[in-house]
Structure 1
Amino acid sequence: MGLFDYLFSKADAKSCDTCAKSFAQMWASYRGLGHDPALGDEAYRPRTEPLPTKVPGHPARLVAIGDIHGDYHKAVRALRLAGLMDEHGHWAGGSTVAVQVGDILDRGDHEIRILILLERLAAEAAEAGGRLYLLNGNHETMNVMGDHRYATPGANLEFLGFSTWRDFCALMKRHSGCNGAGAPDPLQERRDAAARASSSPHTASMARLAPYNWLRSRALLPGSELSRRFFAARPTVLQLGGNVFVHGGVLPAHVEYGLERINSETQSWMLAPDGPKPAPSFLRGGSAIVWARAFSASDERRCDCDTLGKVLESVGAQRMVVGHTIQTRGINSACESRVVRVDVGMSHGCGDGPVEVLEVLKDGQVLRLREHTPPVEVGPAAPRHPPHQSAQQHAAVAGAGNAANSGRAPVPSAA
C-alpha cells in the first residue's frame, strides 16, 4: 500500500495496525523522490537572508549548466560531465563555482527530485569550498504565478506524492497535538486549493493534463512550501566577477531598475509575507529578465550586440551567460564572445539534445564540454550548411568541433 492509497483508503483500513505494517512502504513512496536532507519543517520556513547579486573575484574554474526541464537523468549526466558529482551522488567539484541558469520546472517528470538533488549538492559544495548557484527561470516564475500549462502528467503525480507525504506529516502532528491549537487542517487546505484552481485563468489548460494540478498550484503559489524552500532562496540574476548569469537576458531597463532590487523583490513576491500578490512587472512579458531573447538568436545578425555591450559596460562585466533559447547547434557565443548561450535542449521534453556544459577557466579559456567529445573552445554557432554542400565539405570549413553540432535537427524554442 502506497502513501496515497493509505491516506485516502476506506476508514476501516486506517487502523494503527495498518499504519505500522505499511509505514515502510509509505516512506519508500516518498523517498523515491531522492535523498531529502531536510525532512523537517525547518526547510520550509521563510528564508529572508539577502540574495547574492554581485560576487567579486574570479574562480579558478567556473561551470554553467543550461535548462534541465524535469529530466533527472540528463541533469545527473550534466553534473557528472562537469565533474561536479561523483557516482554516489555527492559533490565532487572541490572549489569549482557552478551556476544552473534556471528552468528546472516543466516539460519533464522529475522536478522535485531534481530540486532536492541540487539543494543538497549546493550545501555540499559550500562545505567543500565551492559553490553551486541556482537561478530562477521563466518556468519557475510561471509556475509560482499559477501557470502550469507545461507541467507533465508525470510531474503532477510527483507533486501528488510529495504533497500527500507533507499532508500525512501535518495530520499526524495535528492529531498528536504537536502543532498546538489553531494548526491548519491540511485536508481543508486541499479543498481550498481545489476551489481556487477551479477559478484559475489557466483552468482549461490545466484540465487537459491531469486531475492533480490544483495540488501543484497549492505547492507552488507565492508563500507556499516549495516556493519558500526552493525558489525564494535563489537569485534571478547573478554576477560572478566578470560574468553575468541570467535566464533570459539583462536589458538596460533592468540595470536602471537595479539588479539587487530585482532579486530582492522577486524573493519578497515568492515569500508572500502578506499573502499572494501579482508578479513584479520585470518578470512578465517579452522583455522580462527571465523571458528576453535579445542576445539569443541563432543568426548573430539578429542579436542586439550594441545593447549587450552597453549593459555589460554598465555593470562592469565582460560576458553574459544565458539560457532560455534552445541552441540547436550546441553551446555557442555571439557578439564577439560577449554572450554565451547554454540552453542546448538536453531535456527529453525539449528535443532530447546532447548533454553539454560550459567551463570558464581562470586563464581565460571558455570551453564547451560534451559527453564523449574532447572539450572545444566556445565560438559562434556554426552556420547551417546549404543543401548543395555536403556535411564533409562543411566540416572542412567549419572544423570538426562545430560540424558535430550542425547535424542536429532544429528543435522549437522553449516557452
Structure 2
Amino acid sequence: MTGILDDNLQWIGGDNTDFVHTGDVVDSPDTIALFQLTGRLYNESLTAPHGVYPLLGNHEIMNLSGDLRYVTAEDFKSFGGQKQRTEAWSQNGWIGQLLMNTLSNVTLDLDGNVFVHGGITAEWARMGVDGMNKVVKSAMRNRDWRNPVFGGEGPFWYRGYAQDSERSVCKELRKALKHMKAKRMIIGHTPQLETGQILSRCDGQVFVIDVGISTVYGANCAALEIVGDKITALYCVKGKPDQARRVDLTPKKKWKDDAEL
C-alpha cells in the first residue's frame, strides 16, 4: 500500500523516505516476527540513505515492566510458553536488549513533525524531544517503572489530544508545539474504531493515526504520508494490496504562534 516494502519485506521505498512507527508492536501472535522485522529494517537503515524509526508504545513498557494483562494465549504460545517469553523480554533477553539498547525512543522530530505514541503535553514538551528520550532511557535502565514519564500524563499514556474536546486541548497542543519548535504532532495509542480512519484535530496540528490495524480491532489499514506540508491519508483497497485510497488531509489554516496563545 505504501510502496516501501516489497512482497519479501525488503525495502523499496527509495533513498529519501523515512518510515516511523509509533509503537505497540507487542501483544499479538505476530510479536516475534514483527520485532524481527522491525529490528532488521532499523539496522539496515543505519547504513542507508532512508530512515526507519520505531518508537516505543505503552504496551512495550507494560511488557518490560512485567505487566502482562493484555498478553494473549497465542502470544505466549508463539514463544514456546510463558517462561520463554519472560526470558525474551528480560533485560538480557533478545527483545529486552532490542528495546532497551536500540529501539528505546518514545518520540522523534522530523522536520517539525513530532511523532509520539500517546501525546506530549506542554509540561513534557519543555524538556524537548531529546530530553524526553533521555528520561525514558534512564528510567528503563534503572527499571524505574513508577517514573512519571510512564504515567497517565506522560508521552506513553496521554490521550487528551485524541479524546478531549478541541476547545480544551488545542491551546495545550499549541503550547507544546511551540516549546518544541514543531509544526504538528502525530500520535497513536487511541484506536479510531468507529471510523477506522486517521483523525485530524486542531486544524491539522495533531493527527491520530491508530486506526485499529490489529485483527483484534478489525484489521483496519492506514498510513499517514507527509511530503513537505502536504499530508495524505493512505487506506488499503480490499483485494488490491499494491494500491491505496488517498485522502488529502493538508490543513487549510496555519496558526500564528503568539497570536493563538
TM over 0.5: yes
> What is the RMSD of the two structures over their aligned residues, measured on CA atoms?
2.1
In the TM superposition, residue 220 of structure 1 has moved relative to its aligned partner by 1.6
Deviation above 4 Å: which 4+ runs of structure 1? none
Return 5+ residue gaps in structure 1 as ranges: 1-80, 161-211, 381-415
The Cα offsets for residues 267-296 of structure 1, whole Å up to 9 and x where unpaired, read as 234345xxxx33252333321210001100
In the TM superposition, residue 303 of structure 1 has moved relative to its aligned partner by 5.5
CA distance in 1, matches of 2:219, 2:9: 23
The correspondence of residues 354-365 of structure 1 with structure 2, limited to 5 A, is: 354-362=220-228, 364-365=229-230
Q: Tell me, yes or no, if the aligned pair for 2:113 and 2:182 is still in contact at 8 Å.
A: yes
- SS in structure 1 at match of 2:161: coil
- Determine which of 70, 81, 84 is the counterpart of 1:150: 70
The Cα offsets for residues 62-108 of structure 1, whole Å up to 9 and x where unpaired, read as xxxxxxxxxxxxxxxxxxx11110112201111201100000011x1
Q: Which has the higher contact order (CA 8 A, sep 6+)?
A: 1
- Determine which of 112, 115, 126 is the counterpart of 1:245: 115
Report the equivalent of 1:304: 169
- Determine which of 124, 147, 170 is the counterpart of 1:254: 124
CA distance in 1, matches of 2:24, 2:100: 11
Q: Tell me, yes or no, if the aligned pair for 1:101 and 1:245 is still in contact at 8 Å.
A: yes
Q: Tell me, yes or no, if the aligned pair for 1:105 and 1:140 is still in contact at 8 Å.
A: yes
Report the equivalent of 1:188: none
Distance 1:285 1:128, change over 3 A: closer
Structure ranking higher in strand proportion? 2
1:289 equivalenced with 2:160 (yes/no): no
- Determine which of 373, 377, 388 is the counterpart of 2:248: 377
- SS in structure 2 at match of 1:371: strand
Report the equivalent of 1:315: 180
In the TM superposition, residue 379 of structure 1 has moved relative to its aligned partner by 6.9
The correspondence of residues 127-206 of structure 1 with structure 2, limited to 5 A, is: 127-160=47-80
Q: Tell me, yes or no, if the aligned pair for 1:283 and 1:289 is still in contact at 8 Å.
A: yes
1:104 equivalenced with 2:25 (yes/no): yes
Q: Tell me, yes or no, if the aligned pair for 1:137 and 1:290 is still in contact at 8 Å.
A: yes
- SS in structure 1 at match of 2:225: strand
- Determine which of 335, 346, 356 is the counterpart of 2:213: 346
Q: What residue identity is the alignment partner of 2:205?
A: R
- SS in structure 1 at match of 2:207: strand
The normalised TM-score by structure 1 is 0.54
* Bigger Cα Rg: 1
- SS in structure 2 at match of 1:94: coil
The normalised TM-score by structure 2 is 0.85
In the TM superposition, residue 314 of structure 1 has moved relative to its aligned partner by 1.0
Distance 1:319 1:293, change over 3 A: same
In the TM superposition, residue 241 of structure 1 has moved relative to its aligned partner by 1.3
CA distance in 2, matches of 1:222, 1:302: 43
In the TM superposition, residue 258 of structure 1 has moved relative to its aligned partner by 4.5
Distance 1:126 1:225, change over 3 A: closer
In the TM superposition, residue 232 of structure 1 has moved relative to its aligned partner by 3.3
CA distance in 1, matches of 2:32, 2:94: 12
CA distance in 1, matches of 2:46, 2:130: 22
Q: Tell me, yes or no, if the aligned pair for 1:326 and 1:345 is still in contact at 8 Å.
A: yes
- SS in structure 2 at match of 1:154: helix
Report the equivalent of 2:257: none
Q: Tell me, yes or no, if the aligned pair for 1:100 and 1:135 is still in contact at 8 Å.
A: yes
Report the equivalent of 2:82: 213
Q: Tell me, yes or no, if the aligned pair for 1:82 and 1:357 is still in contact at 8 Å.
A: yes
CA distance in 1, matches of 2:128, 2:180: 10
Q: How many residues align?
A: 241
